[in-house]
Every structure is written in C-alpha cells, then in structure tokens.
Amino acid sequence: MKQILKGEAVLSLFIMAMAGLAPNLFPAAQAGLAKLSLLGRAVLLPSIALLGAALIVASKLGYGRLVNRAVAGAGAGFVATAGLEVVRAVSFHFGGMPGDMPRLLGVLLTDRFMLGPSAWSDILGWGYHFWNGAAFGIIFTVLFGRRSFLPVQLYALLIGVGFLLSPAVEALGIGFLGLDMPAMPITVIVAHVAYGAILARLINRWVYSGGWLLAESSGERPGKLVGSPA
C-alpha cells in the first residue's frame, strides 16, 4: 500500500504541476517574460499533453482515486468557469471591466494584438480561459479531494485575489488591484464567488474520496471515474 501511495503521490504532484502552468502564462507574458504566443506553443500545449499522458499512466497503474479526482476536477472547473463568465460578461456589458478577457487572451495567443481578434483567436482565447478554470479545479481536487463548501470557496477567492495582485492587472493600466476602476475588483471577487460555489457543488457530486493526496484510501474501487459514490 505504501508503494502504491508513493507512486500515486508522484503522479499527483506531476499532474498538479502541469495544471498549474497554464494559469501563470498570461501573468508571465504581461510581466514581460515572453510573448503569450510563444508560451502557448512552448509551455501550454506540452503541459496539456503531458497531463493527459500522466492520466493515462495513472489509469494503467490502477490509481482510480487520482484519475477520478483529476477528471472530476477538470469538469467541475470547466463548468464553474461558465458561472464566472456570466458575472464577468454582465459587468463588461455595463462598463465594469477594462476589456474582454477571453478575446484579449486570444489575440495575445495568436500574436494579433495590433490586428485585432479573429474567429480563430476567439476560439483559442476562450479555450485557454476555460482550460485555466479546469486547471484550477484539477489542482484542488487532486490535492484535497471532496471538500465542504467553505474550503472550496476560500480557494476560489484566493484565485481571484491572486489575479488582482498579478502583473496582468497592472498591465491593464487600472492601478494596484485595479482600484482605479473600482467595479473591476468587485467583479473579479463576485465572479470567483460564483466559480467557487459551482465548483464546490460539482466536486461534492463527482469526486468520490476526501482527504489530501497522501491519505490512504479505504474501500475505493480504482476503476471508477466521475460521478461514483463514496
């Protein structure tokens, strides 16, 4: 059992590391480390491929708990991002946001900032935006498994605050924490509350184990995936 837990822990840490790369690429680009178009090719795509490969290995080795957590976390994070987007889109419509974030991500990924968005850049921008939401879901569920509402909500708020503190917000020209545009930080916090609420709900429906990743599982069936009961 200890050997199984060791192998599962190594794969878990690798999967979280690969998931954690994507959300940091936009802030890194805004900090001037490299163009997002370059980071997308050199980091984003390989990280997604390696994460998928790690899940295949985990499935082959019988790490059902890890596979369930990662797949459920990705799905929950993806859906929760839709809730976040409802809040962001409404605020953007009424002038509460400095720009359309998914479209901005798209033009940066395709190096079309001066040319403006295209259908392809919009697809990539929205895809990257939703993958970030899925990645945050993966990180939480792989590390902690099924949790009550409060820890998930605190996690979502930390993501929002982290974004406000990142170089991405400063690069938008709206001051520290976006305080030169007060509606913007309010929107970010409310949007992440919505994200956290949906994430918590779905985690508790789809993840069938609790405890952090080094905790020994009991009575779990390795072959089960999303939606399996405890």
What is the mean predicted confidence (pLDDT) over 181-198? 93
Rounded Cα distance between 4 and 157, Å, is: 34
Most confident residue range from 94-98, 139-143, 175-179, 217-221: 139-143
Share of the chain above pLDDT 90, in %: 67
Q: Domain for residue 222, yes or no?
A: no
Q: Domain for residue 230, yes or no?
A: no
What is the mean predicted confidence (pLDDT) over 176-185? 83
Q: List, for residues 54-64, the tens digit of each pLDDT value.
A: 999 999 999 99
Q: What is the pTM of this model?
A: 0.88
Reading the block at residue 64, the tokens are: 């059902």
The mean pLDDT of the chain is: 88
DSSP 37-95: HHHIIIIIHHHHHHHHHHHHHHHHTT-HHHHHHHHHHHHHHHHHHHHHHHHHHHHHHTT
Q: Around Cβ 95, how many Cβ atoms within 10 Å?
A: 9
Rounded Cα distance between 113 and 140, Å, is: 33
Rounded Cα distance between 194 and 190, Å, is: 6
Q: Domain for residue 219, yes or no?
A: no
CA atoms 97, 103, 109, 115: torsion sign: negative
Provide the domain count of the chain. 1
Rounded Cα distance between 17 and 47, Å, is: 9
Q: Domain for residue 116, yes or no?
A: yes
Give the structural domain span for 14.
Answer: 2-206
pLDDT at 230 > cutoff 50 = no
Q: Domain for residue 51, yes or no?
A: yes
Share of the chain above pLDDT 70, in %: 90
Q: List, for residues 88-147, the tens digit of each pLDDT value.
A: 999 988 888 877 889 999 999 999 988 888 999 999 999 999 999 999 999 999 999 999
Q: Domain for residue 215, yes or no?
A: no
Predicted pLDDT at 6: 80
Higher pLDDT: 74 or 173? It is: 74
Which helix (H) or strand (E) segment holds residue 163: the answer is helix 149-165
Closest CA to 124 of 141, 102, 146: 102
- For 94-181, where are the alpha helices, taking DSSP H only? 101-109, 119-144, 149-165, 167-171
